[in-house]
Every structure is written in C-alpha cells, then in structure tokens.
Amino acid sequence: MFNFGSKILVLFLVTFPCGQMSFGQVSAEESAEDIAPHATVDEEEEDELLVEEDQVPGSESEDDFDEDAAVGDVTSHPDADTTIIFVTGEEFPANEIAKFLVGFTNKGSQDFTVHSLEASFRYPQDFQFYIQNFTALPLSTVVQPQQQASFEYSFIPAQSMAGRPFGLVILLNYQDSEGNGFQMAIYNQTVTIVELEEGLDGETMFMYIFLTGLVVLAIFGMYQVLDSRMRKRLPVKVETGTGGKNDVDISWIPQETLNIMSKASASPKASPRKRTKRAAGVDQ
C-alpha cells in the first residue's frame, strides 16, 4: 500500500532524532572542557560556583580528592596545607570513639593563627543540611612560617546512627597575620556508620534463659492438662465412714452384752449413739 516515497519519509523521520543526539554529544564535550578545571571528582557541591575563580585547583589542597570550601564566602589560603589521618581507622562504629589527627603546614612567610577545628555530620544528598554539629575545638594556636602543627579531635557517633550514611565535614578555621579569616575543609565525604557485631552479652543470655523457662512452663502446663483429663475417667472413691446402723457388724459381741445393750436402748443415757439431746455442763 505504501509507495517507496513514504517509506523513505518514514526512514528519515526515524533516523532524524539520532542525528540530533550526536550533535548534542559534540556540543556537550566542548562545554565540559570549559568547566573541567572547576569540577569536583565526587559529590555535587552547590557552592562550587561561588569559589573564587582565580584559584588554581592544585593549590587548594594537596589531598588526592579535590575539596572545596564548604562556606561560600571564606576560602583557604594558598600557603596553608592540611592532612588528616584517622587514628581509630577508616570505619566509624556507632557509640565508639572516633579519633583523628589533623596536620597543618605553614608554607608561607607569615604567622597563621589556627582558631578552631569543627566536625559535623551532614545529610549525604545535601551537604548544607546539618544533622549533627559536634563541639568545635578551640585551638588559638600560632603556627610560625615553615612550621607544622598537629591537632587531635575525637567524637562519638550516636548509637541510633548505626548503618546509615552521613556526610562528614571537618573544617579548620584560621587567620593570617592581617586578621583575614580562612576556612579549609579537611574532610568532605560520605561515610557510613557501622554497627559492631557484639558477641554474647548479658541481655541476650538472660533472654535465652527466659525463653527456655517459658517453654518448660508450656510443656508443664500441657502435661497438667493431659493428666487431669486422664484422671476424670477413673471412678472416684469417697470415704463415707460408718453412718447407719446396718453398716456395722455387731455379731462378734457376746449375746449377754447385746441383751443389755438392747435394754439400755430404751434410755438414751446408756448408748451414746442414741442421745439426741446434748446439754453442756449439766450434772446428771
């Protein structure tokens, strides 16, 4: 039904968007080259564009990961270098002390005064949202030219944070001899708080003992129920005692005594069985 022309038209319509896509790739490549010097390797940083453009990326920090200043208006001084080492390890167990050492090198010719060191947990998808802000450590340490200083900091992630990822941001605030404030983000990555696998602890042990007790109780209860059901089928023998006159066999008593007894049965005094009236404290 379709003639050859309409087939050509359909073919062109199908291939036309693919052609557009290839053009798009070329243009993206060109723009990517322009922004490459300012891009970060890992997470998106919204303040990226606010970082001063004239800074050379290599001098920002000597770490392998490109790090930007977390706050837009203060940046890091090119003469200051920092390193960090986590003394307690790269893993952060919940409710355990995590300690790290920060090293600060003054490569310049003027004094630096290091003011404070602070750490915080941020929302991993948005580093501007603070989840927990740890106490800032006030340092107020002067670092002279061509010298280094170390600072120790420790914090404890809360137990409820176990198993969740957080953005850990460690900032160092310092100023130069003229009083200009600077801030350097020493660590700016997402970490996951791990939960330590505990072995046998008191709580678990007592829980098992309690469960064992419950099971024993259940078994005992079932035994009792079954036992009571079994017993109902057997006749119950009840002791009644000697009630009426016919239950007792008096044939072993000699005849003379029996005669006396039968005579005395007329008067209630002789046979205690036949006394119906009972009077206490009456002399007869």
Q: By CB under 8 A, name the binding residues for another protein.
A: 29, 32-33, 36-37, 41, 57-59, 62-64, 66, 81, 83, 85, 87, 101-103, 105, 141, 143, 146-152
- Determine how β-strand 181-194 pairs with β-strand 92-93: parallel
Q: How far is the CB of 174 from another protein (least distance, A)?
A: 14
Q: Identify which of residues 60 and 193 has a Cβ nearer to another protein in the complex.
A: 60
CB 61 within 8 A of CB 75: no
Q: How far is the CB of 6 from another protein (least distance, A)?
A: 40
Q: Coil, strand or helix: which one is 197?
A: coil
Q: Identify which of residues 99 and 164 has a Cβ nearer to another protein in the complex.
A: 99
Give, in degrees to the nearest 5, the angle at Cα 172 between 70 and 39.
35
Q: Identify which of residues 164 and 189 has a Cβ nearer to another protein in the complex.
A: 189
Q: Identify which of residues 38 and 164 has a Cβ nearer to another protein in the complex.
A: 38
Question: 187: closest CA among 223, 158, 153, 162?
Answer: 153
DSSP state of 169: E
Q: Identify which of residues 83 and 95 has a Cβ nearer to another protein in the complex.
A: 83
Q: How far is the CB of 148 from another protein (least distance, A)?
A: 3
- Determine how β-strand 126-133 pairs with β-strand 112-123: antiparallel
Q: How far is the CB of 167 from another protein (least distance, A)?
A: 22
DSSP state of 242: S
Q: What is the CA radius of gyration of the chain?
A: 49
Length of the chain, please? 284
Q: Identify which of residues 32 and 264 has a Cβ nearer to another protein in the complex.
A: 32
Q: How far is the CB of 154 from another protein (least distance, A)?
A: 10
Q: How far is the CB of 196 from another protein (least distance, A)?
A: 23
End-to-end CA gap in the chain: 143
Calpha distance 100→87 (Å, rounded): 5
